[in-house]
Structures are given as structure tokens and as C-alpha cells.
Structure 1
Amino acid sequence: MDFRLKIRAFEYGSKIPSKYTCEGEDVSPPIAWEDPPEGTESFVLIVDDPDAPSGTFTHWILWDIPKDKRFLEEGTQEGTPGRNDFGKIGYGGPCPPRGHGPHRYFFKLYAIDTPSLNLKKGSSRSNLEKAMKDHIIREAEYMGIYER
């Protein structure tokens, strides 16, 4: 058994379809996972771009995803969303600067040992990371690339 994340809209390490970016519908892709570790009480999702010119750019944070979930629908509204680095609550798709080359986008799903992190909707990534610090059981990751 291995905790794994899968995004059916694109292969690991391949181009993210424009539908899920600022040049398309800017909706979150469908995300699935399997075999969460024993003791999982909820999940946290963080999507970021470590290749952004100003440093790692957060595109989406979502927490308190119920432990029985194994799939997030495209454009999901499940879980509790936080504020991304665009300054908005929820998903903000890949939108690298034009001519900057390809950027990697990491979708990281964390299995957490508590059903709730007790954070308000719109909380920051730093607040999320502090709240989940001592509760992470395991992490699964998936990566896509996008360039404008």
C-alpha cells in the first residue's frame, strides 16, 4: 500500500491543460488519491510553483478535507479554502510570466492525524503550515508543467 496522488487530466511531469490555468477556465483539475496511511483523519492540499521569479508561489491551499474522500471533482468547493498568492480565496491556476520558461506546479496532499485544523476560511499558507506541522502523517505529490 502506497499513498499516491493522481490527476487524470495530465500525466506526471507533463503539460497542464490550459483549461486549468489563467489562460483557460482557471478551474481546479480533478484530483484522486488512494491508500492513505493508517490514522488519517483529514487531508490538506497545497499547490505551488517553486519556479516563480519571486520565490515559491502558492496557487491553492485547502484543508479539512474529510478522511473518507478519495477524489476532488474539477472545480471543487469541498474542504476549507485558504488565500492564495494572487490574494484570492480558493484555486488560482498556473499563470507564469510570459517568456519565463516552463514552471513546475506541485500538488501536495498531506494525510493529517486530526479531523480539523481549526483555521478560518481564507487563512494564509503560513498559518496553515503552523497548524498542520505536528499532524502530518505522510505526503503524496504530483507535478505538472506550464509555460506561457
Structure 2
Amino acid sequence: MPHAQTPDHSGAAITLGKIQPFGPNDLVLTTTAADPDGRLADRHSAYHDNRSPPLVWTPVEGAAAYAIIVEDPDAPRDLPFIHWLIWNIPGEATSLPEGLPNDASLGLIGGATQGRNDNGGIGYFGPRPPPGHGVHHYHFQIFALAERLPFGPETPLAELVSALKGEALASDDLIVTYEAAGA
């Protein structure tokens, strides 16, 4: 029986490519966790401390909540690797601190919900590209939402994407890079 080959990169679209916001798209996401070339600091990788990076964004008028999805389309698999799903960040929020706990519900962030990443855990799972696979690009995608989402932490990405299509006022994509040491 022939062995199925895994692609060098997923080739599939990330979430941002599937959603067209219906408001003025003036949302901008930034972080202090990347150097000027866009390389994410080691402490945020799963090879090191695996701490979620601090994030800051511009407020969007009328946003009831925000959602952030982090994907790696350079993963050697059919679909982009999901590193983080977090939604129902309060509409008045304009930042997330570094090192959020990997809990399904974050009371300190207004009850925001974190979903399951592709490593099998809840919350943030930092970059861990295979050694020798080169530089990977991590898309920190943020969506300003017209309404909060009624989903629990086990909600699959496809269901979130369907909801985001009807609720996204604005979006942005912050791309950072990471490469395994010795690669």
C-alpha cells in the first residue's frame, strides 16, 4: 500500500482568507514580543517558556467582543496548525497581557473563552516548527465582533469561522516568524 505524503506546507487558506468583515476595516494588531524583523522572542515558543505574547490593538467602534486565531500555514500537514483560539474578549479591551493561563474561561479577561489548539491543549501553544523545516510564519488574526459568540472551549475552528463570517466588523493579521534552533 503506498504511503500518503505529507505536504511541506499546508497550502490551505488561513481563517482571515475566509472572512470578509462588514465594517470599516481600521483594526491594527501589534506586539512587543517580536524583534524588528518580525521574529518572535524565544520565551513565546513551545521550545522554551510557551508564554502567550502581549498583544495590543486599536479599538473598533461597536465591537461587542474580539476573537484571536493564531495559525501556522507552514506546518507540514494538510491544514494550517492552530496555535491559539480565544474569543469573547470584551469589546472595551484593547490588549492582552503576556502569559495568559491555559484555562478554558478567563475571568481576568472578562470571561473570554479559549479553545483547543492542534497540540490537544486548551489555550496558547507556541511555535514549535520541526528542526530543519525553515522559517515558519505565524498569523495572529484578530476579529472585532458585532456580538459575543455562544460557544464553549471544544468548538471546532470550522464552527468559529462560520460564526465569524456573520459577526466580523473588522480584522487584522499580524505575522511573526520563528525557526527551530539549529535549523
TM-score by length of 2: 0.75
Q: What are structure 1's unaligned runs of at least 5 residues?
A: none
Deviations 1:70-98 (A, max 9, x none): 11000124310001111111000000111
Q: Tell me the secondary structure at the aligned position of residue 117 of structure 2.
A: coil
Q: Does 1:140 align with 2:172?
A: yes
Alpha-carbon RMSD = 1.6
Match in the other structure for 2:144:
111
Q: 1:13, CA displacement in angstroms? A: 5.2
Give me the whole-angstrom Cα distance separating, in 2, the residues matched to 1:12 and 1:123. 35
Q: Does 1:101 align with 2:134?
A: yes
- Which residue of 65, 72, 76 maps to 2:96? 72
- Which residue of 76, 88, 113 maps to 1:53? 76
Q: Tell me the secondary structure at the aligned position of residue 169 of structure 2.
A: strand
Deviations 1:105-137 (A, max 9, x none): 0101100000x2100123221221122221111
TM-score by length of 1: 0.92
Larger Cα-atom Rg: 2
Identity %: 35
- Which residue of 44, 65, 70 maps to 1:42? 65
Give me the whole-angstrom Cα distance separating, in 1, the residues matched to 2:167 and 2:137. 27
Match in the other structure for 1:92:
125
Task: Give the aligned length.
Answer: 146
Is the contact made by 1:60 and 1:92 (CA closer than 8 Å) also made in structure 2? yes
Match in the other structure for 1:14:
38
Is the contact made by 2:35 and 2:41 (CA closer than 8 Å) also made in structure 1? no
Match in the other structure for 1:130:
162
Is the contact made by 1:52 and 1:103 (CA closer than 8 Å) also made in structure 2? yes
Is the contact made by 2:83 and 2:118 (CA closer than 8 Å) also made in structure 1? yes
Q: What are structure 2's unaligned runs of at least 5 residues?
A: 1-24, 101-105
Q: Tell me the secondary structure at the aligned position of residue 52 of structure 2.
A: coil
Q: 1:15, CA displacement in angstroms? A: 1.0
Q: Which has the higher strand share?
A: 1
Give me the whole-angstrom Cα distance separating, in 2, the residues matched to 1:72 and 1:56. 23
Q: Tell me the secondary structure at the aligned position of residue 129 of structure 1.
A: helix
